[in-house]
Amino acid sequence: MNLIEHYIDGKSFSGSSEKKGKIFNPATGKQESEVKLGSKVDLDLAVEKAKKAFDSWSNVTPLQRARVIFKFKDLIEKNSDELTKLIVKEHGKVYEDAKGSLIRGLEVVEFACGIPQMLKGEFTENVGTNIDSWSTRQPLGVCAGITPFNFPAMVPMWMFPMAIACGNTFVLKPSEKDPSCVMKLANLFKEAGLPDGVFNIVNGDKEVVDAILENKDISAVSFVGSTPIAKYIYENAAKNEKRVQALGGAKNHCVVMPDCDLDQAVNGLMGAAYGSAGERCMAQSVAVAVGNIGDELVNQISKKVEALKVGPGMDKTSEMGPLVTKEHLERVKGYVDLGVKEGAKLVVDGREIKLQGYENGYYIGGCLFDHVKKDMRIYKEEIFGPVLSVVRVKNFDEALQLINDHEFGNGTSIYTRDGDAGRTFANKIKVGMVGINIPIPVPVAYHSFGGWKRSLFGDQHMHGPEGVRFYTKLKTITSRWPSGLRSNPEFVMPVMK
């Protein structure tokens, strides 16, 4: 049995605890690895090493740091096939999708290569007579990240390359369901020249998370996961005086206007609702059919959902892989049962799918509900599986209101040919990431990623300029050099002359 340990101070570390988690291959249902579940002692050791490494790493010039990041980028590219296969093996998503997610993470590494430009600060000559003032951004110290199962490489890469490029050191607690890819990334980072102790991984569950929240030497916590845990992280990290950004769950709506290019909308929705088996925080799980478009939309989507090719992620013909665990499969099936009980019309039922040779894998076919109402739990709650709900509304205003009333505000899209509808939607919608005729509006690495409402607790989004702000603190210096002129003591608030 493959054993995954921790990664502390540049080497594999078995830790103080004998607790282990099981890791299954979702395509077969077979257990392939065990992962050590760390303790407070392990976490505190990782932080101690990271704190020691901070002294020298924060003094390395931004350009030298960027050169290490650049070599890391090169190594990720060279090892992309192996990294992708690790994602497929533990998460289940199909190979090309897994590769795409790795590349979206790689783009953050590319952005981090330009960090000297982002850290330049601002300077004003003569804010007062012979007085200059400048602002600079300095690293925080030891930063920590806690990440979800659904993007085992990309989401950690939203965090640690940015933090480390800014001069911080980092301790990551990845999802205990699929940690292998990021363990490999840690080894590649070392090979790229990263000094020991700058990047550490402590595998584990709530025990390690709580140790992160309590450790006084951690300055900032980045979290991505479900909303209840995001709120817990936000409250407890803040209580312990840490900077925190905590990204939570989602229920993303795609508005389909009667004037849209329906082919484009249907294809966009198919990828956005069923890609990665719906296990994406930017998945479109609600289609809002406006006016008279509902019947044709459901008619066209249902044919495509029925034709979806479900299979193991390594099979090049599969369009959708299995769900991550047996428990998650049961949970998603439970929601489909619930939708039927709540009175929604189940147009396509994927619950009974069976794949020859993969009978123990965690598969479910695409499911499609029509006539979903806003008081149903299948509408209100995040299902995180390949289940699309169609809600019918009379007009654009009703669609806008529906989305703005929802507790989540991660991503949303509108399909329309009407520029006025598109612009009003972008302007009035209370959601962090908006697409106009774009199904999954995930910002590129040099913009920043984050939702509104209960999809993000904290002020700063991830990566891009907001990431730099999150992982640095501002210092403003005002200086005057002796010039022979002596001033007398001043007892009033100085004003610049």
| Residue 296 CB, nearest approach to ligand NAD (Å) | 30
CA gap 249, 225 in Å, rounded: 7
Cβ-based nearer residue to ligand NAD, 161 or 294: 161
464 binds ligand NAD (CB under 6 A): no
221 binds ligand NAD (CB under 6 A): no
| Residue 284 CB, nearest approach to ligand NAD (Å) | 13
Q: According to CB under 6 A, which residues from 422 to 451 bind ligand NAD?
A: 451
Q: Which of 149, 160, 189, 396 binds ligand NAD (CB under 6 A)?
A: 149
DSSP state for residue 87 in the 8-state scheme: H
For tokens 């090049």, what's the residue? 316
Cβ-based nearer residue to ligand NAD, 370 or 466: 466
Point out which residues pair with 287 in neighbouring strands: 254, 390
- Residues in the interface with ligand NAD (CB under 6 A) total 27
CA gap 120, 416 in Å, rounded: 42
Q: Which stretch binds ligand NAD (CB under 6 A): 65-73, 113-121, 248-256, 370-378?
A: 248-256
Q: Which stretch binds ligand NAD (CB under 6 A): 97-105, 122-130, 203-211, 351-359?
A: 203-211
Would you state the structure tokens that stand for residue 429, as one six-digit string? 């919608």
205 binds ligand NAD (CB under 6 A): yes
24 binds ligand NAD (CB under 6 A): no
What's the Cα-to-Cα distance from 134 to each of 282, 436, 475, rounded to whole Å?
40, 40, 8
247 binds ligand NAD (CB under 6 A): yes
Q: According to CB under 6 A, which residues from 83 to 122 bind ligand NAD?
A: none
Q: Considering the candidates 143, 181, 260, 281, report the single residue annotated as catalytic.
A: 281
318 binds ligand NAD (CB under 6 A): no
Cβ-based nearer residue to ligand NAD, 53 or 456: 456
- CB within 8 Å of 246: residues ≥ 6 apart: 221, 222, 223, 224, 230, 231, 233, 234, 237, 456, 457, 458
Q: 141: alpha, beta or left, given left = phi > 0 and alpha = psi -120 to 50?
A: left
Q: Which of 136, 146, 164 lies closest to 73, judged by CA? A: 164
Q: Which of 98, 256, 281, 320 binds ligand NAD (CB under 6 A)?
A: 281
- CB within 8 Å of 285: residues ≥ 6 apart: 251, 252, 273, 278, 382, 383, 387, 388, 389
Point out which residues pair with 35 in neighbouring strands: 4, 21
382 binds ligand NAD (CB under 6 A): yes
368 binds ligand NAD (CB under 6 A): no
260: annotated active-site residue: no
Cβ-based nearer residue to ligand NAD, 235 or 296: 235
Q: According to CB under 6 A, which residues from 164 to 183 bind ligand NAD?
A: 173, 175-176
Q: H-helix or E-strand containing 184?
A: helix 180-191
| Residue 248 CB, nearest approach to ligand NAD (Å) | 6
- CB within 8 Å of 419: residues ≥ 6 apart: none
148 binds ligand NAD (CB under 6 A): yes
Q: Which amino acid is at 395?
A: N
Q: 182: exposed, middle or buried (C-beta count within 10 Å: 0-12, 13-18, 19+)?
A: buried
Q: According to CB under 6 A, which residues from 395 to 414 bind ligand NAD?
A: 410
| Residue 235 CB, nearest approach to ligand NAD (Å) | 12
Residues serving a catalytic function are 281
The binding site for ligand NAD (CB under 6 A) comprises 146-151, 155, 173, 175-176, 205-206, 209, 224-226, 229, 247-250, 281, 382, 384, 410, 451, 455
